[in-house]
Amino acid sequence: MKILPFKTSAEISIGVELELQIINPHTFGLMSRAKDLIRIVNESAMKARIKPEITQSMIEINSSIHDTPGSMLDELHQIQSYLLEQAEKLEISFCGGGTHPFHKWSLQKIFPSVRYKKLSRQYRYLSKRSTVFGQHIHVGCKSGDDAIYLTHALARYVPQLICMAASSPFYLGVDTGYYSSRANVFNAFPLSGVIPYLNNYEEFSDYFYKMKKCGIIESMKDFYWDVRPKPEFGTVEIRVCDTPLTIKQAVIIAAYIQSLSLYLLHERPITISRDLYYVYAYNKFQASRYGVDGQFVAYETMQHELIFNDIMNTIKNIERYANQLNNMALISNLVDQVINKKSDSTKLRQILKNVNSFPKVVEEQCLIWRKESEDFLSLQSR
């Protein structure tokens, strides 16, 4: 049997991709200026760190490979500072958040790369509708079998991750009633959802090559699974998180995932079975809709509990590994957020209550992003 090559990575090394909103600083609507920005970026040392996305009102920043979240935080802040310098020249703004509160997907423009134009021809309105903004986290694995195990095991924790990163309560000019409305957008794509129940890397390789032979896919990029192996990087990629309002929150979530992944790979506490995916869609909906107050069905026992309780129990389980990685200081921020039921979505709803205007909400999102960078530069200069 032909085995798909797997590029071995350092175990639980991490990398992050963040999709950012390009904002008109006068109207605070989305602005299709990615082409202008990429033209500048491609002539700079940041070329490898800043990429276009499928529509022109989005941009993706990506870290290099890191062993620690601390070094990743520094690098992402440097990219953030660079972007803000370019924003001055181009008269644009940037912000985090999983959705833009009032944009119209029909007005979005596809970025004119070969891949994105092909996707647009194939998926039509779904391509423009996917102008939503996510954080993707890569976790390094030593082998393909480790990657398949971790892909399935992390699926059990997807509701937690949705809650921690939720920042998309508003969509198309309304409060959706969800903590993460972004989580619903990609369900429409035919190759979204979850990886099939494949037990090992050999089975995964067989599945991949059969799908390729059928002409359904060309590469791993064509699978839009919530959690997917990335053999060409030697990683597992988690794709369910909204882009947070700050770089720091993105790194806090990465620290949690790194610690959780080390626990999962070393202790193998999750027995992979089909039962995991029987409850998957329900658990994911509960997290997207209700945040940490959502119900979680543990597939091992088929018992209900609050996602809040599941997160708190998991933090106890991974504490030894978090301390080993020096991640506990960052994860303590998550503990505070969960206990006090704080999230970027609750923050955005409070901002709307205060300002009573979606454009002013976006203005605040831009200010949050800019202030974080200013604070970082101030600390650097001391």
pLDDT at 178 over 90: yes
Q: Which domain covers residue 247, as residue numbers?
A: 14-380
Helix ranges (H only) for 64-200 are 69-90, 114-123, 125-129, 144-155, 158-165, 182-185
Termini Cα distance of the chain: 59
Q: Could you tell me if 230 and 236 are in contact, meaning their C-beta atoms sit under 8 angstroms apart?
A: yes
pLDDT digits (tens, 9 = 90+) for 108-122: 999 999 999 999 999
What's the pLDDT score for residue 222?
Answer: 95
| Residue 265 falls inside a structural domain | yes
What's the pLDDT score for residue 187?
Answer: 84
Percent of the chain with pLDDT over 90: 94
d(CA 166, CA 341): 12
Two tokens, residue 128 = 């423009």
| Residue 7 falls inside a structural domain | no
| Residue 6 falls inside a structural domain | no
Percent of the chain with pLDDT over 70: 99
| Residue 9 falls inside a structural domain | no
Confidence of residue 382 (pLDDT cuts 50, 70, 90): low
Helix ranges (H only) for 97-195 are 114-123, 125-129, 144-155, 158-165, 182-185
What's the pLDDT score for residue 377?
Answer: 80
pLDDT at 183 over 90: no
pLDDT digits (tens, 9 = 90+) for 294-318: 999 998 888 999 999 999 999 999 9
| Residue 5 falls inside a structural domain | no
Average pLDDT score over the chain: 96
Residue with tokens 């082998």: 143
302 torsion bin: left (phi>0), alpha (psi -120 to 50), beta (else): left
What's the pLDDT score for residue 100?
Answer: 98
Q: Provide the number of structural domains found in the chain.
A: 1
* Minimum mean pLDDT range among 52-66, 148-162, 183-197, 327-341: 183-197
| Residue 1 falls inside a structural domain | no
pLDDT digits (tens, 9 = 90+) for 2-44: 999 999 999 999 999 999 999 999 999 999 999 999 999 999 9
* Minimum mean pLDDT range among 2-6, 181-185, 229-233: 181-185
pLDDT at 348 over 90: yes
User: In CATH, what number is assigned to the domain containing residue 97?
Assistant: 3.30.590.20
What's the pLDDT score for residue 380?
Answer: 75
Confidence of residue 83 (pLDDT cuts 50, 70, 90): very high
Mean pLDDT of 241-248: 98
pLDDT at 1 over 70: yes
Residue 279 CB neighbours (<10 A): 18
Mean pLDDT of 220-226: 96
Mean pLDDT of 210-215: 96
pLDDT at 181 over 80: yes
